[in-house]
Chain A
Amino acid sequence: QQQVKQSPQSLIVQKGGIPIINCAYENTAFDYFPWYQQFPGKGPALLIAIRPDVSEKKEGRFTISFNKSAKQFSLHIMDSQPGDSATYFCAARQVYTPLVFGKGTRLSVIA
């Protein structure tokens, strides 16, 4: 049973565009929702994270939008750059439990 469903599987945008990656979860006990960025040959790196007491969080060009009632959250990348080309993973967890990851979205930003 996949607890975190991520879409789309891949995404191509032009430089300056705003790619949006969506995730849906099933377990209402999840209360921490991070996004990870992974470049080829590297491990995932934490990009930004949100807890369900807020509906939006911004850090630089990255924004998480959170909809608790719909059990969905999304990542927006403002003014995307070729250097943002990577695989992005959403994840979720409860306190003191392991991270549950989505299957990932391969983003390509073309100049």
Chain B
Amino acid sequence: DAGVTQSPTHLIKTRGQQVTLRCSPKSGHDTVSWYQQALGQGPQFIFQYYEEEERQRGNFPDRFSGHQFPNYSSELNVNALLLGDSALYLCASSTLGTDSYNEQFFGPGTRLTVL
């Protein structure tokens, strides 16, 4: 089992550009959550996808959007990049099943640098 995988590993963009990050969940998982981790901070929840729909959203602007595909993989899109968007973007997968406290497994993250 490869666990949660994310691509790319690193990315450098300039202000105003758009970026797409990708995540493949752990085998058997159907729910994907995205987090932003700024340097020296804890992860902050962006949104969660289940059954190809956004189920919950954190306090992030509409510039942040996502998608979940039928195979449960997911994309995070960020438009009109700002310097403050520079961070490690983490994907976590889980199962939205009978265990309401289902463990979230995190991927290694994508390091985004905005210049």
Q: CB within 8 A of A89: which of B42, B56, B92, B100?
A: B42
Asked if residues A44 and B90 are in contact (CB atoms below 8 Å), the reply is: yes
The CA-CA distance from A99 to B35 in the complex, in Å, is 10
With both beta carbons as reference points, the residue of chain A lying nearest to B58 in the complex is identified as: A98
**Which residues of A pack against B, CB within 8 Å?**
4, 6, 32, 36, 41-46, 49, 51, 89, 91, 93, 95-104
Tell me the chain B residues, 3-30 only, with Cβ under 8 Å from chain A.
4
Chain A residues near B106 (CB-CB < 8 A):
36, 43-45
The 4 closest A-B pairs by CB, nearest first: A101-B42, A43-B106, A98-B45, A95-B100
B104 to chain A, nearest CB (A): 7
Asked if residues B40 and A43 are in contact (CB atoms below 8 Å), the reply is: no
Asked if residues B43 and A101 are in contact (CB atoms below 8 Å), the reply is: yes
* Seed contacts A32-B101, A95-B101; 7 additional CB < 8 Å A-B pairs: A41-B108, A49-B103, A89-B43, A91-B42, A97-B56, A98-B48, A99-B104
**Which residues of B pack against A, CB within 8 Å?**
4, 33, 40-45, 48, 56, 58, 90, 92, 100-101, 103-109
Chain A residues near B4 (CB-CB < 8 A):
43
Chain A residues near B44 (CB-CB < 8 A):
101
With both beta carbons as reference points, the residue of chain B lying nearest to A102 in the complex is identified as: B42
Asked if residues A43 and B41 are in contact (CB atoms below 8 Å), the reply is: no
Chain A residues near B43 (CB-CB < 8 A):
44, 89, 99, 101
Asked if residues A96 and B42 are in contact (CB atoms below 8 Å), the reply is: no
B2 to chain A, nearest CB (A): 13
State whether A104 and B101 are in contact (beta carbons under 8 Å apart), knowing that A43-B4, A43-B106, A43-B107 are contacts in the complex: no
Listed by A's residue number, 12 A-B pairs whose Cβ atoms lie within 8 Å are: A44-B43, A45-B106, A46-B103, A46-B104, A49-B101, A95-B100, A96-B100, A97-B56, A98-B45, A101-B42, A103-B40, A104-B41
A84 to chain B, nearest CB (A): 19
B30 to chain A, nearest CB (A): 14
Q: CB within 8 A of A98: which of B56, B90, B100, B109?
A: B56
The CA-CA distance from A1 to B85 in the complex, in Å, is 20
